[in-house]
Structure 1
Amino acid sequence: MPDHSLNIDDEALRDVGLRHFGTGKTLVIACGALAREILAIIKANKLDHLTLTCLPAILHNTPKDIPQAVEKVIEKYQDAYDHILVAYGDCGTGGLLQATCDRLGATLIDAPHCYAFFDGAQQFEQRGEVTSFFLTDFLARQFDAFVWQPLGLDRYPDLRDMYFGNYEALVYLAQTEDAALLAKAQDCADRLGLRFEHRHTGYGDLTEFLKREA
């Protein structure tokens, strides 16, 4: 794994597309929102047999498109790799992503979304935080591009209570210890009028998924 692959900037992480990192025989197809974290896991655990390719993180705004996008990548590269892992949760696809992976022989991480596998899928379910809005490191960085602007809150601030009136807290699931990101997450909570909670999760179940399945 060449070190220069770890130097992609925030703008690149918003839309990684089908860029490849690594030359291994196991392909990881991931959401672009996880690119930074997966590259860090690969480096820290010397998982040099993994190759990472990412789809644009903005697909989360249209989750119905995720299964088809993943399917296209699998079909394009399945003959070139011995094993294909899919680093997405269900992510609002209503089970369609799991069905796609099952049909094409790819392995999907068992979690409803990235918040769950960062926090630990079992304990996330047990917490039952239905009135919490979650941020990861990626979303803390890209809050304006992925939340504030798409919801129109930059133009129509009165929409805030319509979207977030039933939430009580913003929970920042931090993958890293970064004072600047922590401050950004606190600012996001303030802008949404929500109580702030910081929970350092690291990479949660994602590390074990990549180590185990690879």
Structure 2
Amino acid sequence: MHQFDDQILTEDGLAPTAPRGRILLIACGALAREILALIRLNGWDHMTLTCLPAKYHLYPDKITEAVEAAVSEHREKFDQIFVVYADCGTGGLLAAKCAELGVEMVAGPHCYSFFEGNDAFAEHDDEITAFYLTDFLVKQFDAFVWKPMGLDRYPQLLEMVFGNYTKLVYQAQTDDPALRAKAEDCAARLGLDYEYRFTGYGDLATTLTKQAR
């Protein structure tokens, strides 16, 4: 199952027809790889994934409206809808909208928290100066960090944007030496200390497991 923009496609490129009783996951495109891996590993054949553009990671004001539109579009085709977003910078608006729509969503402030585990992440009250990357953001560092912040064109902005950060924390979902090396390079480019944490899928896995039952 793949997602291109707002269309759900099967492996053969055709839009699937979902029988009643199936669960639709509406997720950030930055989580697609991890969610599909969990679906495959656990044999959750009753779950279907549709993703909103990962670029909304940069524009959280677009998330709530897009989730509402996706729920309205697909509600009649599925028995249950679950939103695989945390608050993600919406300032509580997404949670309020999900409650209004009668759908559940992932708990937590953002994906960095639920990948590490919300309880564990909350204990890092000394990490206000940490900048976090996941597998997705390591792979897409230039597209989602370096270029959108203008650092490719205006390197003098580096101190302005990252001057108050002290370290880059790579929260790894997979144990990939190539990604570890790239994450270290990202930290060096930003002039930050580097820390590696293998989180796996964290609360994303436990939350989807509860939904799958």
TM over 0.5: same fold?
yes
1:145-203 alpha-carbon deviations (Å, 9 max, x no partner): 00000000000011011010110100000000111111110000000000000000000
Report if aligned partners of 1:136, 1:172 keep a CA contact under 8 Å in 2.
Answer: yes
Report if aligned partners of 1:86, 1:109 keep a CA contact under 8 Å in 2.
Answer: yes
Superposition pairs for residues 1-214 of structure 1, below 5 Å? 5=1, 16-20=5-9, 23=18, 25-128=22-125, 129-214=127-212
* Structure 1 portions without partners, runs of 5+: none
DSSP 3-state at the match of 2:123 = helix
* Structure 2 portions without partners, runs of 5+: 11-15
Report if aligned partners of 1:32, 1:56 keep a CA contact under 8 Å in 2.
Answer: yes
- Counterpart of 1:170, as a letter, is L
Report if aligned partners of 1:139, 1:146 keep a CA contact under 8 Å in 2.
Answer: yes
DSSP 3-state at the match of 2:156 = helix
- Cα distance in 2 for partners of 1:155, 1:174 equals 29
Report if aligned partners of 1:47, 1:211 keep a CA contact under 8 Å in 2.
Answer: no
* Moved segments of 4+, more than 4 Å: 20-24
- Cα distance in 1 for partners of 2:204, 2:136 equals 15
DSSP 3-state at the match of 1:152 = coil
| Cα distance, 1:20 vs structure 2 | 4.3
DSSP 3-state at the match of 1:155 = coil
- Counterpart of 2:23, as a letter, is T
Percent identical pairs in the alignment equals 55
| Structure that is richer in helix per residue | 1
- Cα distance in 2 for partners of 1:64, 1:33 equals 17
Count of aligned pairs between the two proteins: 203
- Counterpart of 2:204, as a letter, is L
Q: TM-score, normalised by structure 1?
A: 0.91
DSSP 3-state at the match of 1:111 = coil
Report if aligned partners of 1:20, 1:52 keep a CA contact under 8 Å in 2.
Answer: no
Report the RMSD for the aligned CA atoms in angstroms.
1.4
